[in-house]
Structure 1
Amino acid sequence: MSSELKKTPLYQSFVDAGAKIVEFGGWAMPVQFSSIKEEHNAVRNSMGLFDVSHMGEVLIKGKDASKYVQYLLTNDTDKVTTSKAQYTALCNDEGGIIDDLITYKLDENVYLLVVNAGNTVKDFEWIQQQSEQFDVEVQNVSDKYGQLALQGPEARAFVKEHVDTDIDEMKPFDFKQHVSFFDKEVILSQSGYTGEDGFEIYCNSEDCEFLWEKLLSFDIQPCGLGARDTLRLEAGLPLHGQDLTEEVTPYEAGIAFAAKPLIEAEFIGKSVLKDQKEHGSKVRAIGIEMIDKGIPRTGYIIFDNDENEIGIVTSGTQSPSSGKSIGLAQIDREAFEMGKEIIIQVRKRKVKAKIVKKNHITE
């Protein structure tokens, strides 16, 4: 493992546990501890624990912070409160997705943007560059935070036993600050990347190892990037760098709910997104399921039954829950029809697949 790779506070714990470690977005991260299927099933049936401390955190504060956050992001940030976070996109002038992220309002005119690990430096530089006309201070505070994700149907009951606040009524993207969790102060967010109930736990970086070891002492399954990917694909959740890129807009990538181009406030990329909302985009994100044998991989070309090229696979895997080969793709909008049979070029073979809904969890 290259010494140049960045390491989270838990790197030595991964080594000690015998985890298989790989490079991911410039970080040394565990792809699996036991097996991907075992870790995946733990999250679907009970609960699993992920280290997501590699995610980046950018702090924006100052007199114009509220105004600036809205200028930066595609969602309606007036909906963000000190107890309600928001999923959104950071776009360029053409509406292309620089990153997808979560916005937390920590205080009046104090916001924390949680960005994807491999994009942290790029995002931070972009956010700084756009801030010249605003009275704000922008800081990369990633080193100060550790982040754990406890996910699965048993996660809520477990967390409830070990925090000093009522979490029964917490809904997706609700969060609480200054929560005591095993005597460590954390931000507790009802969010995750698995399609299951659960929490993302933001702590001081120096508390991360203590909390990780404490949680694993309860015989909770540690999980790596492999299960994280199969879980998010079953849930139809996109990954930046594959399903989301600077070449596609929120409307083309299937996250239109995170774009609000009809609000009064101006934001970067608004004119392009407003046009796509009013007139439709040329590309549409879809779920796919293989009919013939084969796994749809990123970059595989999609054809219609007349052998016209209509799109590309952006992510794919074999679902541990169903055994089916599934994926996400982007195709020409006029080629879309739910249930339609399509053809995917899998290496030298052309194999049959069909268009399905993106969320496979209930199947």
Structure 2
Amino acid sequence: MSEPLQRTPLYDLHVELGARLVPFAGWEMPVQYSGIIEEHLAVRRAAGLFDVSHMGEVRVRGRDAVVFLDRVMTNEMSTLKPGAARYTLMCQPDGGCVDDLIVYRFSENEFFICLNASNAAKDIQWLRDHVGTAKVEIIDECKLWAQLALQGPLAEKILSLVTTLPLASIKRFGFLVGEVAGASGCVVSRTGYTGSAGFEIYLPAASGIQVARALLTSGKAHGLIPVGLGARDSLRLEANYPLYGHEISERISPIQAGLGWTVKFNKEQFIGREALRRQAEGGPTSSVVLFSLNDRRIARQGATVYAGETPVGEVLSGTFSPTMNKPIGTALVAAGYVNSEQLTVDIRGTRLPLTISVTPFVK
């Protein structure tokens, strides 16, 4: 028998709000409330509130925390200042991705890491397996936190209604710790996964519904609505943000995924360095591309990409873009074809031309 689905601290609120709940990464999560397109456009035009409490959290602390994290992360941790966060990846020795994460530095020797829901247990074990002789503690805090994402151009205005934190002082990938809607000890960061402005809020699990309800009530007059995973996916694809298991995976490296900027070869050593260096210097055999379709049909994960009659790749993600009003997606394409204007994708026996985009659909 399969294990029962986990529920976030906001589950009862989702039911109250009439969410359509679906299985996702072992969790029972809201895929939509009023409708994916309406929710998507609310984030682009006003604001949306997401429950992302399924994400994992781990704390790493100790005198060797910086050295340890620099060894297991592709990005540089030693230059990360307290009060700031950084996007990074953990890689296997062959360069494949273990996960992508955001690392928050609380103090000189204390870090807080946000993990993908589907990888949380694996990531924590990976960290523990690579401690070696480092003097660090790896503390699983997945059960302690709820996490909300408040995203959209009016996010700061709405959040200011329920907190006295100086939000304007938080720079992109910066954070503050304080009280939100009566809940103390909240971590408020200017980060997100939508391509719109906004914040992500880590808060004690028991305060999840209290804070979410306060935000929805205060933000209603400004157009704030709850948003599910369906719109989260279309929003992140418009911004060309990767999703683990799609644009990055154990078989797709940061170099292939266009995330080479997260790989700091100036560091003397980190797991996967040599494999990634060879890819960066010689060029990867395949790369992830962003595309759109001038059709109503959506190219789904696994669909074959062709150059003429030659299969040259496969679709990684596909959805309908409310902003572009047409289907968009990503594909892993053989190196010689990433700039081709002659690519097509097979959708149920019909070949449709792809238009490759070198920039995200939203900025």
TM-score by length of 2: 0.95
Which residue of 2 is the match for residue 350 of structure 1? 351
Which residue of 2 is the match for residue 249 of structure 1? 253
- 2:312 pairs, out of 305, 310, 313, with 310
By how many angstroms is 1:22 displaced?
0.3
1:284 aligns with 2:283: no
Alpha-carbon separation, structure 1, partners of 2:128 and 2:144: 19
By how many angstroms is 1:277 displaced?
2.0
8 Å contact kept, 1:292–1:352:
no
What is the aligned length? 357
> Over the residues paired in the alignment, what is the CA RMSD in angstroms?
1.5
By how many angstroms is 1:255 displaced?
1.4
By how many angstroms is 1:88 displaced?
0.5
Alpha-carbon separation, structure 2, partners of 1:137 and 1:246: 26
Counterpart code for 2:346: Q
Which residue of 2 is the match for residue 225 of structure 1? 229
Alpha-carbon separation, structure 2, partners of 1:343 and 1:55: 35
Compared with structure 1, are the counterparts of its residues 293 and 33 closer, same or farther at alpha carbon in structure 2 (3 Å cutoff)? closer
Counterpart code for 2:358: K
- 1:275 pairs, out of 275, 278, 285, with 278
8 Å contact kept, 1:285–1:331:
yes
1:18 aligns with 2:18: yes
Compared with structure 1, are the counterparts of its residues 352 and 292 closer, same or farther at alpha carbon in structure 2 (3 Å cutoff)? farther
Alpha-carbon separation, structure 2, partners of 1:312 and 1:169: 43
8 Å contact kept, 1:50–1:222:
yes
Alpha-carbon separation, structure 1, partners of 2:296 and 2:233: 21
SS in 2 for 1:77: coil
Which residue of 2 is the match for residue 55 of structure 1? 55
By how many angstroms is 1:43 displaced?
0.3
Deviations 1:192-225 (A, max 9, x none): 1100000001111111111011111122200100
1:39 aligns with 2:9: no
Alpha-carbon separation, structure 1, partners of 2:153 and 2:188: 17
SS in 1 for 2:119: helix
Which residue of 1 is the match for residue 333 of structure 2? 331
By how many angstroms is 1:183 displaced?
2.7
1:141 aligns with 2:141: yes
Compared with structure 1, are the counterparts of its residues 31 and 159 closer, same or farther at alpha carbon in structure 2 (3 Å cutoff)? same
By how many angstroms is 1:139 displaced?
1.5
Which residue of 2 is the match for residue 184 of structure 1? 183
By how many angstroms is 1:171 displaced?
2.7
Alpha-carbon separation, structure 2, partners of 1:161 and 1:272: 49
Alpha-carbon separation, structure 2, partners of 1:160 and 1:206: 22
Alpha-carbon separation, structure 2, partners of 1:351 and 1:293: 11
Alpha-carbon separation, structure 2, partners of 1:55 and 1:153: 24
SS in 1 for 2:160: helix
Alpha-carbon separation, structure 1, partners of 2:158 and 2:16: 26
Which runs of 5 or more structure 2 residues have no equivalent in the other structure? none
8 Å contact kept, 1:300–1:313:
yes
- 1:319 pairs, out of 315, 318, 321, with 321
Counterpart code for 1:32: Q
SS in 2 for 1:28: strand
By how many angstroms is 1:337 displaced?
1.5
Which residue of 2 is the match for residue 101 of structure 1? 101
Identity of aligned residues (%): 36
8 Å contact kept, 2:248–2:257:
yes
Alpha-carbon separation, structure 1, partners of 2:286 and 2:41: 34
Counterpart code for 2:268: A
SS in 1 for 2:43: helix
By how many angstroms is 1:168 displaced?
1.8
8 Å contact kept, 1:328–1:358:
no
By how many angstroms is 1:165 displaced?
2.9
Which residue of 1 is the match for residue 361 of structure 2? 360
Counterpart code for 1:65: A
Alpha-carbon separation, structure 2, partners of 1:227 and 1:58: 27
Deviations 1:324-357 (A, max 9, x none): 111011111221217x231101122222122113
- 2:298 pairs, out of 271, 280, 295, with 295
Alpha-carbon separation, structure 2, partners of 1:265 and 1:146: 36
1:239 aligns with 2:243: yes
Which runs of 5 or more structure 1 residues have no equivalent in the other structure? none
8 Å contact kept, 1:30–1:224:
yes
8 Å contact kept, 1:293–1:351:
no
Which residue of 2 is the match for residue 112 of structure 1? 112
Counterpart code for 2:210: F
8 Å contact kept, 1:47–1:155:
yes
Counterpart code for 1:279: G
By how many angstroms is 1:159 displaced?
2.1
**Larger displacement relative to structure 2 (183-192 or 273-282):** 273-282
By how many angstroms is 1:292 displaced?
4.2
Which residue of 2 is the match for residue 173 of structure 1? 173
Alpha-carbon separation, structure 1, partners of 2:182 and 2:331: 44
Runs (4 or more) in structure 1 with deviation over 6 Å come to none
